[in-house]
Every structure is written in C-alpha cells, then in structure tokens.
Chain A
Amino acid sequence: MSIKSIFFNIPAKRKLKVLKEYIYLLKKNKLTFTALIIILSLVVIAIISPIIAPFPYHIYGEINPQDKLLQPSRVYLFGTDEMGRDLFSRVLYGTRISLLASLIAVVMGLLIGVPLGLMAGYYSGFIDEIIMRIVDMFLSFPPLLLAMAIAAFLGPSLQNAILALIIAWWPWYTRLIRGQVVSIKEKEFVRAANAIGTPSWQIMYKHILPNCISPVIVQASMDLGGIILTLAALSFLGLGAQSPTSEWGLMLTTSRKYFLNAWWYSIFPGIAIFITVLSFNLLGDGLREILDPKTKKY
C-alpha cells in the first residue's frame, strides 16, 4: 500500500495501517525524523509564542530605549535590539509569521497550480497549449526575481510579498502535475474509468490526482522551506514585512547597521531561518526516499 491509498474509499482502519507504515519508515530515517520533530516543535512555538515570550509587548513594537543593544544575558536570552526590545521574544514570534506566510503561499500555489496542471495534462490539445504557454512565461523568470519585481510594484508590505510569492510559485506546481498526469492518463485504470462513463472531473480528482501526489508532497515540503527563505530575502531587500513586525529577514536587515558591535542581533534571527529551512529541506529529501517505491527501505 502506498501513500495515495489514504485518499481512497477504504475503511479507516486500513488507512491508519498505511499511515502507521509510513510513520515507521520515517522513524527509521533518523535525520528526517529529527527534522519532522523540529518542524512540529516550531509549529507549537508559532502557536503559543505570544504566551511563552518573556516580553510579549516587545513583539508588537513597544520600545525600551534604556536597554538598547544589550548582550545576551539571563533576562534577555538573545540580547536586545536597537530599540531595547527582547530579541528572544521577537525571534519566537517570527516563527509564527514565517510559517504562516509560507503555508499560505504554498497552499494557494497548490490550489491554483494543481487544477490547472490536471486540466492541462488531461485535456491535452488547445487547453494544454494555452495553460502551458502561460506557465512557460512565468517560468522564464528566476522565481526570486519575479517575486521581487511584483512585490516592488504592489508596494512593500508583508501581504503583498506573500501575494508576489504565490504569483511566482504556482506555475511550478502546474508543470509538475502536468508531467505526472501525462504519464498516468494512458494507464488501463484511467481508460477503464473512462469506459464506464465516469465524469472527467471525477477521473481527474479521484483516479489521477492520488496517483501523482507523492512528488507534490515532496515538492511542497521543500517549498515550505524555500518560501520562508525567499520571504526573508524579500524582507531583507525591504519589500516584505515592515517595521516593527518581528520578521526574521527584516530583523537581519536592520541588524546590518549594528552587527559589528552587536553580533547577537544578526546571529539569532539567521539561525532561526537556517534551522527552519534546513528542517523542511531534510524532510522533503527524506520523504522523497520514503515515498518513492524504488528507494523505499524497510
């Protein structure tokens, strides 16, 4: 049984069995499992960050000038920034912004890209041609460059940066799905479904989509990291979150003025980005091995 069977109309007990098998495989792959644990803890941190942050008001831009640029100490675990705000609280809260933003961007990208890819692959001919030519236009740009240009024209803000990321990212999913669909649609089970008169949308979503879900899962997990990195890059250029938002890329760009005298200001937000992106990439890499029947090891 492979991962796609959790989409099938089978008893919950058997679905659970499939899931258990994959959890077992994950546990065996130690690096991937560690990455998964880190991601889960990051999600928890993102949810409860305002509660556990030692200085919750510092998250929202309250300033505290008498404590500016203090070294890491027992009171301020990661030190303070130029406004005297506690960096530990701000980095914690940054988790929420980054995870939520990249989740929104990936989900929206999938919602736009997957149906278009299914249609392009399934209905070849005219529809395929139109959709793929539009996709090709978007793919002519390096993704960061397109996101940067769109974000600049929409005006610098976090929402616009996320919108720009969605516009730059969906075509990759369309191309990925289309490639899968083209290779699957000539298989017997699709032709059989067609022969007994199953409506096209049902064939697409019930028979084809579950069979090309593995590469999408892998890609999406890598992209969750990639988008966090790109969003931080946009913020670093001044096109993403605006002050006083506790966003990692923004913290890094402000820290540039001070970091030679205040190393902690640049180090901690950067480590946060690095660990988060690394975990998603490791997870994606591990999932690729586990979900691919050729490399799956028991």
Chain B
Amino acid sequence: MLNFITRRVFLSIFSLFGVILITFMLVRVIPSDPASQWAGGRVTPEQAEVARKELGLDKPIYIQFGYYIRDLLKGNLGYSLMTHQPVIKELKRRFPATLELVLFSCFFALIIGLPLGLLSAKAKNSWIDHFGRFFSIGAVSIPSFWSALVLQLIFFSILKILPYGGQLSTKVILFQDVPHVTGFMFLDSLITGNFAILKDFLKHLILPAICVGAYTIGLVARMTRSALLEILSEDYIKAARSYGLTERLILYSYALKNSLGPTTTVVTLAMGYALMNTFLVESIFSWPGIGKYVANAVTCLDYPAIIGITILGACAYIILNLITDIIISLDPRVKL
C-alpha cells in the first residue's frame, strides 16, 4: 500500500515534469517573438537584443529549459503583460474566491446528485430512473456559460430576487466593515460573526455555484447509480435479502457505504472540471476569482498569465488525481 502511494507520487512528479515540458514547448516552439513583446510593441533591433539577453533567449534551448524550471521552482511565473504584476501574486490573491466557488458547487452537486443517483438505482427502469438519466445527461450537456446567462435573466432581470454578479453588494462593501482574515469570504464572515455579510455572500454565490456545479451533479448522479446497481447485484446483498433484512437497511447501510468509493473518485475529478467551468462562468458573474483573470488574459493574449494559469490548473488536476488514487487504494477490496 505504502509502496503504491510512493509509486503514485513519483508518477505525479513525472506528470508535473510533463506539464512543464509542454508549457515550455508552447512558449518557445510556437512562432512568436517574446522579446519584442517584452520590450513592448515596435522595437529597434538593439532593444530587441537587450530584451533577448534579459529573458535569456540568447542561450541554447536546453539551458533555457533549465532556467524555466529554476524559475518555476522559485514560484516565479513571470510578469503579466497586462498589469505588469507578478502572475503568481495575482493568482494567489484570486485563488480563495475560486476555491470557494468550486467547493460550494461540489457541495451542491453532492446534495442533489447523490439522492438522485440513489433514487434511480432504487427504482431501476422506472420513470424516476428514466428522468434521472435524462436529467444527469442534460446536466453534463448544458453549456455553463449559457446557463449562467439564462439564470441571470430569470433571477435578476425577471424575478429580481438575486443579484446580477460580484461577490458582495456595493451597499455592503461601502457601509460595512468587510473582514479580511483568511481571504475566504465564507470563513471570514463566519469567524467575525458578521451574518449580514454571510447572507449577502451566499445570495451572490448561489447562481455561479449552480452553473459551475451542473456538470458535477450529472456525473455524481450517474456514478452513484451505476456503482449502487453493481453492488446491489453482489452476493452479500442477496444473502442480506435472504435473511429477510428490510430493503431500507440493505440499501442504506450495506450498499450505499460501499458505493461511496467510486463517487468520491468522481467528485475529486469533477472538481477539476468545475475549475474549468469557473473559467467560463466567473467573468459573467464578475466573480473576483481566477476565472475572471483567465478571461481577461485570454482576451488580451497575455501569454505569461495564460501559461501561469495553465500550470496552476494542471497542478490542481494532478493533485486531485493523486488524492483520488490514494482514496481508492484505501479501500481494502482493491488489490494493488
């Protein structure tokens, strides 16, 4: 088991190396002139030469790769072309907002997806099951950036019960003391006991969280259903049935527990997808997270920022995969 985890960690380090190599190739192989971009617009050949020296572009390619790795290890992702701020600083500042959105959306996904999958499996091939199938496939097919617009239209423009976007209302920001302890708005308002801000925050959170979580809801529901069905056909369930245990007891305390493994796997993976969806949704809801930064960086073709986000996103994905595999390996039924 420990052996497996060590091997898996090494594999993750290799993946990380792969990410670095591919992003390096993106930066260097694709024909573009980083030097003149760095110096800014039209440059004389001398200025370009200076910029090339500054960026180390006059060195052989493998030395450049060494520099690139060295910079990354130091946590240096370069400077944004838009804001001239270090990319890592900007990402750090925006990360809590995005993480909060992802975690809340996965929470929604669990409280909706799990019961739906359970009901579908319980009543296999009934209308509930068919509805569940349609609903979950629908949820993974809906473009998050479209559902965001539609929800805004319904809840802001027509019903006028939820705010348009942002993390807090302007009124709250102006007239209340917004706490900054951890950077996570939910925790901050909870710690300081400021429930007015908490309420305002949750009101702003609900629409983006639904849009980001829709995909995850579908995945969780499907996965729970198929995992449960597989377990319900196992011998020990048949044995439990033949002992005359109630269907309720069998389902909740014998089958559900064992089906949680695959569902956890899906949730961690779906968090990766949720992260991608925040890239599309945050700018619509003016959510002050990484996604909004991505949308801006892509519009202005801010290459250092794009690379920084790509590396960060890939790292998050690799870590999630690692956690998933370790969770699976904790299941005593899995032979390694």
Q: Which residues of A approach B to under 8 Å, CB–CB?
A: 31, 133, 136-138, 140-142, 144-146, 148-150, 152-154, 156, 225, 229, 232-233, 236-239, 249, 252-253, 255-256, 259-260, 263, 266-267, 269-270, 273-274, 277-278, 281-282, 285
Contacts and interface: CB of A to CB of B under 8 A. Distances in A.
B111 interface: no
B264 interface: no
B15 A137 contact: yes
A121 B44 CA distance: 53
Contacts of A150: 26
A252 B276 contact: no
Nearest to A222: B140
Contacts of B91: none
B314 A274 contact: no
Interface in B201-254: none
B307 interface: yes
Nearest to B15: A140
Contact of B149 (A154, A249, A266): A266
- Range class of the B interface residue count: 35 or more
A263 B152 CA distance: 11
Contacts of B284: 256
B22 interface: yes
A201 to B, nearest CB: 29
Contacts of B32: 153
Contacts of B273: 142
A271 to B, nearest CB: 8
A249 to B, nearest CB: 8
B142 A285 contact: no
A150 B307 CA distance: 10
B306 A142 contact: no
A200 to B, nearest CB: 29
Contacts of A144: 276, 279
Contacts of B134: 31, 282
B272 A137 contact: no
A259 B151 CA distance: 12
Interface stretch (B59-67, B101-109, B168-176, B294-302): B294-302
A144 B274 CA distance: 11
Given A140-B18, A237-B295, A232 B143 contact: yes
A44 B310 CA distance: 38
B126 interface: no
